[in-house]
Structure formats: structure tokens, C-alpha cells
Amino acid sequence: MRRITLSATIFLWAAAALPAAEKAVVIQNPMAPPAWAVLEQQLLRYNSLAAERFAEKYLDERGYLLHTMRWGTLDGPDDAIETFFNWTLLYALGGSDAVLRHYKRAQEGHWRQYGELRTTKTKLAENGAYYKEFITQSDWFHTGEGMRAFMFAGLADPNDEKYRERMKRFAGLYMNEDPEAPNYDPKTRVIKSLWTGSKGPMMRKATTYDWVGDPVPGSFHLLHNRASRGQLLDLMKYYDKMLAHCNDYLDSVGDHPLNMASTNLAVNAFALTGEKKYKDWVVEYINAWKERTAATGGNIPTNVGLDGKPGGEYNGQWWKGTYGWNFTIYDGEIDEIAHRNTFTAGAWPGFSNALLLTGDQSYIDVLRRQMDNIYAQKKEVNGQIQLPQMYGDPRGYKHNGPPSWYHYTGNLFLDRLTEIYIWSMDRKDLERAPKKGWIGFLEGADPDYPVRALQNDFNQVRRTMQAMRRDVTTPDTRLADYLMAYNAVETDALVNLMWGGYFSGGRIWTLHSRFRYFDPEKRRSGIPEEVGALVEKLAADSADLVLVNTNPVDARTVIVQAGGYGEHQFESVTVNGQSTAIEGPLLTVRLEPGCGARLSFRMTRYKNQPTLLHPWDRAVHGR
């Protein structure tokens, strides 16, 4: 290989064995192990051990989760598999091989386990909760929750042929490739119902049994009901209360912004295969939502009729619908009025997926305008800013008054505003995002944040593991949601600090990060052992990354990728004041023993087509 000397300590060469666009550097600058680097490595290790301990205690030899199965959205199949929601993400960060092995065992076991479920009060699971390994029918608020780990499994193991086949087949459910599941109307660009899946769209009103499922004998911890937490309740006696929870959740026909979360399937299928049809469908579908939102003054409609028009199932009232802007209901389970508008849950992943595939910032303009509309209604109450969370009836439950903004609270949508800023990198968007914590650190205001955040995650792992050790419940007293509290894996700070990525408090995730790493020696995704990575600064066209090898004896090599899916482009890198062109999404860095450096990248965001292929496989596939 040809080596060009840049300085006494840094070299750059064209590596013939690596993808043609890739360059490499050698770092020979001695660096004492920073506290954050040691904490990162240890957190990856103990997260992995925590996952192994969970699997040992709560999975049987078949991969079945040890609990009592039920159909339903309160404590049903989506909650059971959501327990493992960030295990594939942990592996992609650098977690142990055992984490991925246990996740795959749990996922396969989950499909088999819930395939054995039978219901009598609803047809949705009368022959199992899954058909062709996909939920028969559900809403994407819950489907998306249950598929979080599966959506990121491609980051962990893109060469799993079974995974590739499933992702293509699942994406095809929303592209009319399965005649048994005509979920999508290409003429009107509408997903036809709030309830969709492998059995197609629900073209009728839902029933409370569809939402709640059958009762099962026994006493259980009902975690979804805050009034009963810590208590065992007889489910047969409590069942009517659970039905009352969903009395107003029955309207189903027509498109809903939650359905935009289904684009995660096609994005993954595209990143796995490069087949253009997946990208085309996402752009076609999200463009329809872009047009509908413009037609309603910049407010994302929460019902679109089968004719493709906002409010088409409600005489043009775009704010109506289950989980809509006007979804103020009486929850008979907790005996309270409840406001349950989910307009952000699917829209933020959906519009950002279109950005990921096209690089077109106008998709983020849609989200910004929605926030502008809400912030235009802000009020100051006792010195605190409050924003409306709902639109429609201003006075409460089932009143036919003129539509307006209502239900003001202190929720300022800061997590969603942070996402908008990270996706746009527009300094004007930063004005509304919180400038503390991780964002404050990136802005140079909180240099101690990385250590503090990692220490906090260590404490959370310890607390969760302590609770798990003390857990004396048995499978016959646990429903699907109970064990989520005992998943000790903590990944948010690692995603922030190592990748420069951000996940909001929402339950449906799309990965947008500035970096991701691969271990070329072990031929796997994730940071190599004993290597620390800290994203110190982000800007629209640049990023600063510190890499360090904490091993004083052996060298380490890491491949740095621009973006979670290689969607960004490194233009150049500067180390020790010397710059060189890269002009590609990959950079190999060899870290000599005990060495580290700050790498300042110039980069173009969202320039490349996203791919899940490992760097060493891309030349073979022509990507």
C-alpha cells in the first residue's frame, strides 16, 4: 500500500484492500485515557452483561418470554418484544456478541410464542397474533413500539439473509406486494386504515375487544394503570375497566400520521438491497402527507379520507380521528378525561425518513412549520410558557363548539425541536431547542457532561439490576409490559456521545447520526474494544470527533462512517493542523497503543444513498 507522510505522527494512504473511496490515517499522538473513554467501554461491557442476565432469568430455552400472553395494545405482543427495544442498537454501538445472539433468540421465540395465542372475543388473533411473522392488524403506535429492535437489527447484522427477506416482505405489505394485505391505495396515496398488518387494513370500526383482547384468569401487575401499580389485580374482575379504557378508540378507516412510521420498513429494505422501488414508495407516500399538511395550513391532519383528502372521513374536519388533534376522551379505566394526540409519533420518523433518502430539507420544513403554528399560540401562565397540545373542541369532551387550540400545558415539545435542529443544523432551529445537557455540551457550555451522563447511565443500570435481582414475580403474575422495567440496557448517552445521534422521548425511532463505527479485524459493526469515541462538536458542514485507544500495549483499527447508513460524505479531515481530502463516507483510523487525537471533518450531509452493508462488502455489491 502507498503511504504519504503528513507529519511525524500522522499518515494517510489509499488502501487497496478497502473500498475505493476510503482513505486511512494512523494516529501516533500519545493520549492518557480520558475518563469518558473508559466509562464508554465499561458501559458497553456492563450493558452487555445486564442483557445476558436478563435473558438468563426471563427467557426459556425456546426464547419464550416468561409471562402470561394476551392480545391487546395495553399489555400485548408489542410490549413483550419491546422489552428488547435497544439490544440491537447496543450491539451496533459495540456490545457483545451475546447481546445479538440473545436478541435473535428472543425475536424468533416471540413470533413462535405469540403465534400460539388464540382469542375468542376478536378475530384479530383467533389464529395467532402474527401471520407471516407480522402482526395481523394493529396501529403503528403499537406496531412501531414492538418493532424498534427489529428495525435496528440491520445495523447489527445486515448479512443475515433471513432478516433481509423478512424486511423486504414486511415492507411489501405497504406496497401492495402481498395480495392478502392491500394496505395501500397507490391512486390516492393512502394507507387505508389506522389498523393495518399482514391481514390487510381494517375497513370497519374497531371494537374494544380489538384493542383489549380476551381476559385471562389470575391476578397481575397492570402497569399501564398508574393507580394500580404495585398491586396485584384480578384481571377477570378488572376486565370491564380495561374495556372502558378504549371506549372511544373505535374510528379506524382512513389514513393517519401514525402510518408514516411504516416507512421505516421500506427505508431498511432500501438500505439492505439498494432496490429503488423502496425509496420511490417512501417518497411517494411522504410527499402525499406533505401536500395534505400544506392544505391544512401547515397542521399535520390526523385523518385523511379514502379519497386522499384531509378530514375525508369527518366532513373535512382534519383534526378528528382516533389519536387525533381532537382526541379528548373519557378514560373509563382511570375515570378521568384524557388528551391523547399522537401527531408527532409517526410524522417525525416519516418526514425524516424522506430526508434520509433524498437529502431534501423541505421535509423538515413541514415539521418546523407545524411547531411554528403551535408556538404562535403560546401563553405565559405564572411566568411559565405553555403551549396547546390539542386542536378542535376548546371546552372539553364531546362538545360541538368551533374548533380552536386548547389543553395548554408546559410541554414545549423540546425533544421534537431538538430532532428538527439535529436534522436541519439550522442555527435558527437551535433557538427553540434546549441548550443544556447534550446540546449544551456540543455548544461548549458543559464540558463535564459526557462523564456525568455516562455515570448516570451506570447508576441506572445498577438500580435496574438491583430491582431485577429482587423481583420475585412469577410468569403467572406478569403480563407483557411488566418486564420492560427490568431491561437494564442504557444506550441514549452512548448514541449521543459516540455517534452524534439523538432519539427523542418518542417510542418510534429513526436513526440519524453523524458517525458510526466498524471493527475491521472482527468484521462486525461497533467500536472495537478499548477504543473511545467522543463527538465534541456538530455543525451543518463539519464535525469534531476524538478517538482514543486506551490500550497502552496493542494498536486498534476502527472504520469511521459518515452517518448511521453512510448517508453523509466526508470531504476532508484535519488532524494536528494538517488537512487532506477524503471525498467518501469512510475513513479507516489506526490508533497506535495509548494514542488518540481530535479529527475535524468537513462534510456534506445527506449526500449519499443510505446503506446497511458493511464497508468491506460494498465493493462486491457495487455500493
| Contact by Cβ (8 Å): 407, 387 | no
Q: Coil, helix or strand for 508?
A: coil
Residue 140 is assigned to a structural domain of this protein: no
Residue 400: per-residue pLDDT? 65
Residue-by-residue DSSP string for 540-593: TTEEEEEEEE--SSS-EEEEEEESTTS-SEEEEEEETTEEEEEEESEEEEEE-T
Instruction: Answer whether residue 374 is part of any domain.
Output: no
Judge contact between 430 and 15, C-beta under 8 A.
Answer: no
Return the pLDDT at 399. Answer: 58
d(CA 235, CA 237): 5
- Show the 3-state SS of 135-187: ECCECHHHHHHHCHHHHCHHHHCCCCHHHHHHHHHHHHCCCCCCCCCCCEECC
For residue 332, being part of any structural domain is answered with no
Which amino acid makes up residue 165? E
Q: How far is CA 83 from the centre of its chain?
A: 14
Rounded Cα distance between 386 and 431, Å, is 17
- Helix axis angle for 343-358 and 362-375, nearest 10°, is 150
Q: Identity (one letter) of the amino acid at 262? A: S
Per-residue confidence (pLDDT) for residue 228, from 0 to 100 = 61
Count of domains forming the chain: 1
**Cell representation of residue 534:** 467522543
Indicate the pTM of the whole model. 0.95
The grid coordinates of residue 531 equal 477504543
Residue with cell 433468540: 105
Cβ-count burial 553-587 (b if 16+ within 10 Å, e if not):
eeebbbbbbbbbbbbbbbbebebeeeeeebebbbb
Which residues on adjacent β-strands are paired with residue 535?
545
**Which amino acid makes up residue 593?**
P
Q: Is residue 277 part of a domain?
A: no
Q: Domain containing 588: what range? A: 2-30+514-617
Domain membership flag for residue 519: yes
Which CATH number is 541's domain given? 2.60.40.1180
- Predicted pLDDT of residue 22: 67
Q: Establish if 592 belongs to a structural domain.
A: yes
pLDDT value of residue 335? 87
Q: Residues in the chain with pLDDT < 70?
A: 1-22, 225-230, 394-400, 620-623
The gap between the terminal CA atoms of the chain, to the nearest Å, is 23
pLDDT in tens, 327-336: 999 988 888 8
